[in-house]
Amino acid sequence: MAGERDKGQGGREISSQSQVDAFLAKVRATPAPAAGPRGRLIFALDATASREPTWDAAMQIQAEMFNETAALGGLDIQLAFYRGFGEFVAGPWDGSAPAMLKRMSQVFCAAGQTQIAKVLAHARAEAGRGKVGALVFIGDCVEEDVDQLGRLAGELGLLGVRAFLFHEGADTGARHAFEHIAKLTGGACCPFDRSSASQLKDLLGAVAVYAAGGRRALENFSRQRGGVVLQLTHQLDR
């Protein structure tokens, strides 16, 4: 943000990035209940050939996003990806950021069709075995039946799994499909670019605020942050 404070919609002032970071730090510093289970988050990647031209640059952003996710603390993360001819891989749940980043660095692209339905179905299955707080997905295209994806997304929404989709590229059809999935789960869809790591941090921080303090806490946070975080509040209004 430029300057110490910026104007939001309707002239409302919103907090500077330093204030947002301080607010999030307080949220993250709040100790989890001693007997409560660790949070679980699925981090899924499209590793098909269409992403290969930008894969090296994208990997850096993905790694930054992963680090921001791990920095929330108290999270077990599962890395999943698809590529090639029907290949879908989901690794073990792990709370070690270095180990997970090592696994991510070993992923490479291979030609094949998108398998977003498998990602959603996998998240649904994992949520059936234990609470999954969120699904993060990074991709650039959709080559599947959008109605089927919508059905799976709706089932995730009923299970309380919010999907945060980051869209790379300019495919408007994919963008609309991603937005549809996000809407049905109560999550958000954002462009995949250099600001993605910060956006993911703020979005997941907003989810943490909502989980800890309910709707009023999220509304207060949304007014402070503005931007993509407002999408979560809007989802709750629908």
Give the tens place of pLDDT for each residue, 121-149. Answer: 999 999 999 988 889 999 999 999 999 99
DSSP 67-116: HHHHTT-SEEEEEEEEETTTEEEE---B--HHHHHHHHHT---------H
Pick the CATH number of 37-202 from 3.40.50.410, 3.20.20.80, 3.40.109.10, 3.40.1160.10: 3.40.50.410
pLDDT at 137: 94
- Mean pLDDT, to the nearest integer, of 90-106? 88
Q: Which residues of 44-76 are buried (b: 16+ CB within 10 A; e: fewer)?
A: bbbbbebbeeebeebbebbbbbbebbbebeebb
Average pLDDT over residues 74-85: 90
In this prediction, residue 231 has a pLDDT band, given cuts at 50, 70 and 90, of low
Tokens in use for 17?
A: 């990035």
What's residue 135's pLDDT?
92
Most distant CA pair in the chain: distance in Å? 52
Q: Kindly report which listed range (86-95, 118-127, 196-205) carries the lowest average pLDDT score.
A: 196-205
pLDDT of 238 over the 50 cut: yes
Q: pLDDT category, 96, cuts 50, 70, 90? A: confident
186 vs 188: CA distance, rounded Å: 7
Contact 130, 39 (CB under 8 A): no
Which of the given ranges, 59-63, 116-120, 197-201, has the highest pLDDT on average?
116-120
pLDDT, residue 116, reads: 98
More confident residue, 118 or 132: 118
Confidence at residue 15, expressed as pLDDT on a 0 to 100 scale: 38
Q: Is the pLDDT of residue 27 over 50?
A: no
Greater confidence (188 vs 235) lies with 188
Comparing 35 with 87, which gets the higher pLDDT?
A: 87
- Report the percent of the chain where pLDDT is more than 90: 42
